[in-house]
Amino acid sequence: MKHIFSAAFCAVLASHVPAIQAQTTWKLATGYRAESFHTQNIMQFSRDVEQATAGKLVIQVHPNNTLAKLNEVSQAVQQGKAEAGETIMTSMVKEIPLAGADSIPFVVGSYSDAQRLWKLQRPGIEKHFAERGLKLLYAVPWPPQGLHSSKPIRGLADFRGTQMRTYNSTTLRIAEMLGAKPVDVAMVDVGKALSEGRMDNMITSALTGVENKVWGPIKYYYEINAWFPKNVVFVSNKAFEALKPDARSMVLKAAGNAELRGWEASQALATSATEELRANGVKIERIPQDLDLEIKRMGEKFSREWVRSVGNEANDIFVPYYLRP
Ligand code: PCA
């Protein structure tokens, strides 16, 4: 009886072979670790898509710069090396200056500000992505960017000549403004760079500090809430358009859910990561008021430079951003 059942089962399977052959696989490249909350969210997105499409669309996640380096992910997708990808949006500022709105210091001070900015920025970003053959799926912010340092920071002079870790052209410009020596270190190499004495300080989230176990070399963390950079997940238009319409809408629905889930996770981690730094002996301090004013002034200078270089598109998002409560 068991035998007959399995024979029948095999016959059913065999009759489904054409459907199995119609399976599509997308490779998704990211420069962040598999354990990162962004990557975990992508993996959930991939499972949701697989389930919704009954296995017809499989998204294979290639984390940790294995398929393409973080700053090259968008080119890799444009060139067809991967169908989909995730990168930090500011890694695309050279091609898409509007993406730089994500790391202008002291414009966005909370998750609700970050939501407002994203709503205003999204149509322009979608347009620029489309011009490059990319379809934007969703974006999720990192927790707010704070200052990690091996030495206490009491004034601007404490940055001068220090080795400041940078992760994109904006953090590079900020290091220059502070008179520090910029050192480009990928997120996944921060722990190594610290133990080798290649960096003294960095502006990034408390979470990135936790994920790289920076305690030891890093002794101070200042919650300056400088900006909320977003990671963006996208697919090549060609791969997206090759799907049947129902699968396309399933992908977009799963992407919408991934965006909501990601923003919630980011916000929860913003608090827990700072507490974890503290529990591991990092001193959580406030920067002195006059230094706070000075770096805010520097932020304004940076914004002016940015608005001037981007032009109308920058005004299109910042005028309504500042006018609406
Ligand atoms: N972590 C990433 C980008 C922003 C963040 O919080 C990094 O440090 O590279």
**CATH code for the domain of 250:** 3.40.190.170
What is the distance in A from the centroid of ligand 1 to the CA of 205? Answer: 6
Q: What does each C-alpha distance from 236 to 82, 217, 301 come to in angstroms?
A: 8, 41, 36
Ligand 1 pocket member 208 (CB < 6 A)? yes
**Residue among 128, 82, 88 nearest 239 (CA):** 82
Domain that holds residue 32: 22-96+110-142+229-276
Atom of ligand 1 nearest to the CA of 202: 8
Of the residues 167, 274, 277, which should be mutated to test ligand 1's pocket, given the most ligand atoms within 8 Å of the CB?
Answer: 167
102 is a domain residue? no
13 is a domain residue? no
What is the distance in A from the centroid of ligand 1 to the CA of 161? Answer: 22
62 plus 174 within the same structural domain? no
Atom of ligand 1 nearest to the CA of 88: 3
**What's the one-letter identity of residue 292?**
D
Last residue of a domain, one of 257, 276, 295: 276
27 is a domain residue? yes
208 plus 242 within the same structural domain? no
222 plus 233 within the same structural domain? no
160 plus 196 within the same structural domain? yes
What is the distance in A from the centroid of ligand 1 to the CA of 230? Answer: 9
49 is a domain residue? yes
Count of Cβ atoms closer than 10 Å to residue 168 Cβ: 22
pLDDT at 170: 82
What is the distance in A from the centroid of ligand 1 to the CA of 9? Answer: 50
217 plus 272 within the same structural domain? no
pLDDT at 10: 45
37 is a domain residue? yes
Ligand 1 pocket member 168 (CB < 6 A)? no
pLDDT at 324: 75
- Contact predicate 169/94, CB 8 Å: yes
**Residue among 110, 142, 125 nearest 325 (CA):** 110
1 is a domain residue? no
Q: Token pair 């991939």 is at which residue?
A: 46
151 plus 27 within the same structural domain? no
Sheet holding 24-30, edge to edge: 57-62, 24-30, 84-88, 230-236, 134-141
Between CA 149 and CA 289 the distance in angstroms is: 18
129 plus 56 within the same structural domain? yes
168 plus 293 within the same structural domain? yes
Ligand 1 pocket member 32 (CB < 6 A)? no
177 plus 308 within the same structural domain? yes
251 is a domain residue? yes
44 plus 127 within the same structural domain? yes
117 plus 195 within the same structural domain? no
Domains of the chain: total: 2
120 plus 235 within the same structural domain? yes
pLDDT at 169: 85
Atom of ligand 1 nearest to the CA of 143: 6
The torsion angles phi and psi of 269, rounded to 5 degrees, stand at: -70, -25
| Exposure b/e, 118-143, CB count within 10 A at least 16 = b | bebbeebbeebbeebebbbbbbbbbb
With a cut of 70, list the residues of the chain below it in pLDDT.
1-21, 325
